[in-house]
Structure formats: structure tokens, C-alpha cells
Amino acid sequence: MTEIDPVDLTADLVRCPSVTPADEGALEVLHGLLEATGFDCVWADRGGIRNLLARWGKKGHARTFGFNGHTDVVPVGDVASWSVPPFGAEIRDGVMYGRGTTDMKSGVAAFVAAAIDFVRTSPPDGAILLAITGDEEGDAVDGTRALLDHMAKAGERMSVCLVGEPTCPDRMGDMIKIGRRGSMNIQISLTGKQGHAAYPHRALNPLPAMMRLMDRLASHELDQGTEHFDPSSLAIVTVDTGNPATNVIPAECSAGVNIRFNDAHDSKSLTAWIKQEVAKIETEFGVKSRLQVKVSGESFLTPPGPLSALVSQAVIAETGVTPVLSTSGGTSDARFVKDHCPVVEFGLVGRSMHQVDENVEIAHIRQLKAIYTRIMRDYFG
């Protein structure tokens, strides 16, 4: 019985130019392979997004190991800056190049190959569920969320889940993600009264009010960190008036703020704080305000326990490296899975993700498949 080569599968996926939200055949590649090797496959498409759910074993089994990942990728940027075709999957000196090689087509290829070979050689007493989306790099509204909604309606459930995102900062095996910070974006507009710059007393300038507000927000200490999280952060990402004139006081000024927050907060408490500070500015300066709040995800933690220990032991066995349990980095689809079942993340070294000439070491892809295989073997064994 020929084993599935995760390197060849990675190359097949990279050659599909699946810039989010387009699929361009990437999930079809996986669907055909999984269905041909005994997995029950269903499409959970929504909003024009392709989503694939593949199960081996009995639906609703009390021991169902889940994998989650995505096949969509970020745009390539300036193609002329690439030294290789972005979707060519070229291999040079033991390294494969192409958009998605790291984030995260190699991770998907590794867990698909591991799952297929595992059930063919060591059929477990349980089930394996693969939830793969084409909408993670974009708005992520109709991706993993749609898969989880479909599962709820169909009576599918994962007991635990491993998300195959690249998690290692420097070397293979050095980090497992057991949680993520929350993320939210706040757009603030302050409105005063337009006027001539030579007669400021006849106008109401919203700029001093905005500067005062931004200073208060940026200088406020949200917290000093918690047991498993670094301190929360607030970044001012834009301040703009759209005013091309030098002799006109503008009527409106807008600003954007991004907050990355730990488990000392939630989006509701932070929104209430922002509104309170804006209300103070309205009173002090006489301006009017508008707020728009978009929450990308709440902070969450899967406390160190059986699942993180299971993954850690497999990583140590296959790499000789003891991984750090971390909550660093941005958001991932684990923020949706955490409401379904315990979830951790482990994958490749992510140094080149989203960069020009994104690449992955061939040896790391095969090593990742071995780690995922060991995790399943230990979980069911």
C-alpha cells in the first residue's frame, strides 16, 4: 500500500492559485483524494465559499479527533519581486517555494496524508474529522464558521481539534498555541464645525479633540498581562481628516484603533471603556461622535492539560524539541473552534508566511506528517 506523500500533495495544492476567497480547485484536489480512500466527504459551502468536511468512522463517535485548516492564501503582491513563480511549487535545495507553502497548504497536506495512511494501516476505534475551509485569510464569515454550523445541524462533533496553522517561530517543534488574544477594530469620527483657519473662534476644530482622545487611549495601561497572556495592546492605526487645504479647519476627523486583548477583558468591556472616553471628549470639546466596532474574535485559552500534553509528547518524540505553550500571535480559526471543543494549534515554522518567496523545508513537511500520525496513534491507542 503506497503511502500518501505530503510533499507531492503540498505541491498539488500550491499550484492551485486559491487567493482568498477563490478556491481554484484546491479543495477539489483534497475531496477527490479523501473520497477515493474511504472518507465520507460533504461540501459545506456558504456565501460562495467552498468548505470541505471529511469523516472516517462513525458519525458522532465519542472519540472523534478533528483537524482544521484552510487552503486559501493571501495575494502574492508584486509578482516581479518573486524569484520563482508564486504558484509553481518549485523545489530548490530541499526547499519548496510558493504562496501557501507555509500558510498553510503544507499543514493541510500533512494532516490529510497522515489521516489517510493512519486509518488504512491502523483503523482506530473512533472517528477522524477533517474540517477544511477556503475562507480563513479573508473575512472568515463563511469558512470554519460555516463548517461548524453544518456540523451542528448534521450531528457531527469533534471531541478535540488540532488546527494546523504554522506555530513555530524559529525551529520545528518549538511552540504550540493553546489560546489566542482577542482582536477588535474601532473606527471613531469626531465632528465639529468647518471654518477659516484665520478665524478659529468661528469654527469648532475636531482635531485637538481627536489628538487628546488618541493620547488618552494610547497611554492607558489596559493590564500587565495574565498567567498565560502578555499584556493587552492598543495601536492607533490611522488618523485622517481628508483635508487638502491649508487655510480651512475641517469639520470632521476620523481615527482607527486596533486592540489585541487577553483574557482579562472581552470586547464588551473594552467597547464600554472606549465609549466612556469618547463621551468625555464630547463634553470637554463640544464635538459630536460616531463609533463603529468590529470584533474579529474574543480571547480564549485551552488550559494546559491532556490535549496540549498529547501534542507536546508527539512533538518531543519526533523532533527532540520541547515546545513552549503560547498564546502569542494574531487570530486564527481556533477562535471559532474553541466554542465547539478543546482546541490547540501546531504546525510549521512560520517565518516566511505572507512574504515574497514564501517557502517551506521539504523535511519539515514530512516531519509534520509524522507528528500528526503520532498524535492520532497516541490519542486512539
Residue 364 located in a structural domain = yes
Q: Are residues 283 and 373 in the same domain?
A: no
Backbone angles phi, psi at 219, to 5 degrees: -90, -5
Please choose, from the candidates 375, 330, 329, 323, the residue with its C-alpha nearest in 3D space to the C-alpha of residue 162.
Answer: 375
Q: Are residues 309 and 360 in the same domain?
A: yes
Domain boundary among 297, 312, 346: 297
Q: Are residues 335 and 290 in the same domain?
A: no
Q: Is 72 a known active-site residue?
A: yes
Q: Is 90 a known active-site residue?
A: no
Q: What is the pLDDT of residues 211-255, one digit of tens each?
A: 999 999 999 999 999 999 999 999 999 999 999 999 999 999 999
Please count the structural domains in the chain.
2
Domain boundary among 297, 328, 358: 297
CATH of the domain at 145: 3.40.630.10
Residue 144 or residue 330, greater confidence: 144
Residue 378 burial by CB count (10 A; 0-12/13-18/19+): exposed, middle or buried? middle
Q: Are residues 168 and 306 in the same domain?
A: yes
Query: Which grid cell sits at 35?
Result: 473520497
67-81 burial: b if 16+ Cβ within 10 Å, else e: bbbbbbbbebeeeee
Query: Which grid cell sits at 64?
Result: 472523534
Percent of the chain residues past pLDDT 70, beyond the cut = 100
Domain span holding position 54:
6-180+300-380
In this structure, what DSSP letter does residue 246 have?
S
Q: Are residues 261 and 317 in the same domain?
A: no
In whole angstroms, give the CA distance from residue 54 to residue 182. Answer: 29
Q: Are residues 233 and 152 in the same domain?
A: no
Query: Which grid cell sits at 21?
Result: 476567497
Q: Are residues 139 and 16 in the same domain?
A: yes
In whole angstroms, give the CA distance from residue 370 to residue 163. Answer: 16
Q: Are residues 131 and 28 in the same domain?
A: yes
Query: Which grid cell sits at 50?
Result: 467552498
Please choose, from the candidates 67, 41, 48, the residue with its C-alpha nearest in 3D space to the C-alpha of residue 154.
Answer: 41
CATH of the domain at 268: 3.30.70.360
151-186 burial: b if 16+ Cβ within 10 Å, else e: beeeebbbbbbbbbbbbbeeebbbbbbbbbbbbbeb
At residue 121, the pLDDT reads 95
Q: Are residues 102 and 35 in the same domain?
A: yes
Residue 271 located in a structural domain = yes
- The active-site residue out of 23, 103, 135, 136 is 136
Q: What is the pLDDT of residues 307-323, one digit of tens each?
A: 999 999 999 999 999 99
pTM over 0.75: yes
In this structure, what DSSP letter does residue 46 have?
B
Widest pairwise Cα distance in the chain: 84
Mean residue pLDDT of the chain comes to 97
At residue 147, the pLDDT reads 98
Q: By the 8 A CB rule, do 288 and 321 touch?
A: no
Q: Are residues 21 and 142 in the same domain?
A: yes
Q: Are residues 260 and 332 in the same domain?
A: no
pLDDT at 1 over 70: no
- 140-156 average pLDDT score: 96
Sorting pLDDT into bands at 50, 70 and 90, what band is 277? very high
- 259-288 average pLDDT score: 98
| Residue where the block lists cell 500533495 | 9
Domain boundary among 272, 297, 322: 297
Residue 306 located in a structural domain = yes
At residue 200, the pLDDT reads 95
At residue 46, the pLDDT reads 96
- 191-197 average pLDDT score: 98
- 122-128 average pLDDT score: 96
Residue 1 located in a structural domain = no
Intra-chain end-to-end CA distance of the chain, in Å: 22
Q: Are residues 103 and 41 in the same domain?
A: yes
- The active-site residue out of 23, 72, 358, 361 is 72
In whole angstroms, give the CA distance from residue 211 to residue 215. Answer: 6
Residue 19 located in a structural domain = yes
Residue 317 located in a structural domain = yes
Residue 345 located in a structural domain = yes
